[in-house]
Amino acid sequence: MKHLRPPMPCSVNHPQSVRSVLREARLPLLPLLLTVLCSLFTIPACGDDEEAGITAPAGCEWTDACPTGWKKSGNTCEYTAGATTTIEGNVAVFSFNSPVANAVVKVQNFGTELPACGVSDAAGLLKIEGVPTNIDPTLAAKAPDAFLGKPTYTFHADYVTSLAGPITGATVYVINDPLAKIFLPALGITTAPPSGRGFVAGATYDAAENPIGGITASASSTDAGTKTLYTANNLPNTAATESDASGQYILAGLPVGETTITVSKGGAAIGNTKAIVYDQAVTLASVVVK
């Protein structure tokens, strides 16, 4: 993060300049008049105190009013109401793990977007600074070739529900257009999911983050338009009635809005997690059984 620079003086290189005359006159409107002079003479240094601060990369600019606890800094906002930390890792295509460059990854507190944001480099590596602690971190990652131009939402990044310190080595997945064209036919969808509905995909893990196989999954918002599938070799298997050893599940066609995913094994619920379903987009929400 760049440090704030002190404002640089506005100087007009003319003998006995109007600026010096105004200073000697000690007029009460001096600050306003100096601003006018700076604009008239097009002096770059004059605007530095307004432009100084954080320079967010393209795609990460924050143009709205800063949220509570944040203040304007450069072309974004900086969190000033408490401690901050970093999220580091890589961005990859879901299931195939190939690196994704130039993906814009925005931080949310569960479903509330925050100014903290980063862009993956040519190797898919990502670092987001200035992330408030004590949030439930959701990462909205949008690849350059994102399916339908939609981000992929990863809830509880790195399986954390209350961020206490830095996250390192996390993989942020995206659903891009080539991958969607592989998955959608298996889900019985030829072009795009219906408007007002989306997907939730995830897996089930134990406390040591080892996959739990042989599970079934359901969502609190499931209705007649929802289809539940499990995977075989990382691809949807329409014949499967429970997950393979990977513990992976896909809930297709869920209504947009908040939902709770529950996983069961042997007919008994063993864990759950909350997430939000976004219109025609994919939400990744895994369950950790503790």
- Give how far the C-alpha of residue 70 lies from the chain's centroid of Cα atoms, to the nearest Å: 17
Asked if 155 and 112 sit in the same domain, the reply is yes
Asked if 47 and 125 sit in the same domain, the reply is no
Query: Does residue 57 lie in a domain region?
Result: no
Asked if 103 and 151 sit in the same domain, the reply is yes
* CATH number of the domain that residue 216 is part of: 2.60.40.1120
Indicate if the pLDDT at residue 231 is higher than 60: yes
> Helix or strand or coil: residue 19?
helix
Asked if 159 and 212 sit in the same domain, the reply is no
User: Residue 75: which domain range?
Assistant: 70-174
CA dist., res. 201 & res. 228, Å (int) = 10
* pLDDT on residue 40: 57
pTM here is: 0.81
275-288 pLDDT, tens digit per residue, is: 999 999 999 999 99
Q: Are strands 287-288 and 204-205 parallel, antiparallel or unpaired?
A: parallel
Asked if 168 and 191 sit in the same domain, the reply is no
Query: Does residue 65 lie in a domain region?
Result: no
Indicate if the pLDDT at residue 31 is higher than 60: no
- Domains contained in the chain, number: 3
Query: Does residue 62 lie in a domain region?
Result: no
Asked if 45 and 83 sit in the same domain, the reply is no
CA dist., res. 179 & res. 254, Å (int) = 20
Name residue, tokens 């995913």: 261
* pLDDT on residue 14: 44
Asked if 209 and 129 sit in the same domain, the reply is no
Query: Does residue 207 lie in a domain region?
Result: yes
Given a contact cutoff of 8 angstroms between Cβ atoms, the answer to whether 92 and 44 are in contact is no
Q: What is the DSSP letter of 5?
A: P
**Mean pLDDT, rounded, for 9-33:** 46
Asked if 143 and 208 sit in the same domain, the reply is no
| H helix or E strand, kind and range, residue 69 | none
CA dist., res. 97 & res. 145, Å (int) = 15
**Cα dihedral angle (77, 80, 85, 91), rounded to 10 degrees?**
-10
CA dist., res. 222 & res. 235, Å (int) = 22
Partners of 232 in the β-ladder: 235
Query: Does residue 91 lie in a domain region?
Result: yes
Asked if 168 and 192 sit in the same domain, the reply is no
Of 143, 174, 205, the one marking the end of a domain is: 174
Indicate if the pLDDT at residue 221 is higher than 90: yes
Of 137, 152, 174, the one marking the end of a domain is: 174
Residues contacting 65, CB < 8 A, separation 6+: none
28: which 2 tokens?
Answer: 């009460």
Asked if 169 and 199 sit in the same domain, the reply is no
Asked if 224 and 157 sit in the same domain, the reply is no
Asked if 220 and 260 sit in the same domain, the reply is yes
Given a contact cutoff of 8 angstroms between Cβ atoms, the answer to whether 263 and 213 are in contact is no
CA dist., res. 207 & res. 49, Å (int) = 49
- Give how far the C-alpha of residue 149 lies from the chain's centroid of Cα atoms, to the nearest Å: 14
111-120 pLDDT, tens digit per residue, is: 999 999 999 9
- Mean pLDDT (the chain) is 85
CA nearest neighbour of 118 among 65, 68, 160, 157: 157
Share of the chain above pLDDT 70, in %: 82
* pLDDT on residue 37: 52
CA dist., res. 199 & res. 279, Å (int) = 9
Of 125, 147, 174, the one marking the end of a domain is: 174
Q: Are strands 282-284 and 197-202 parallel, antiparallel or unpaired?
A: parallel
Query: Does residue 64 lie in a domain region?
Result: no
- Minimum mean pLDDT range among 3-12, 43-52, 93-102, 153-162: 3-12
Query: Does residue 128 lie in a domain region?
Result: yes
Given a contact cutoff of 8 angstroms between Cβ atoms, the answer to whether 150 and 278 are in contact is yes
Which pLDDT band, with edges at 50, 70 and 90, does 78 fall under? Answer: very high
* CATH number of the domain that residue 150 is part of: 2.60.40.10
Query: Does residue 275 lie in a domain region?
Result: yes
CA dist list (Å): 209 to 21, 48, 101, 205: 71, 48, 27, 5
CA dist list (Å): 264 to 246, 261, 274, 284, 285: 14, 10, 15, 18, 15
CA dist., res. 135 & res. 164, Å (int) = 8
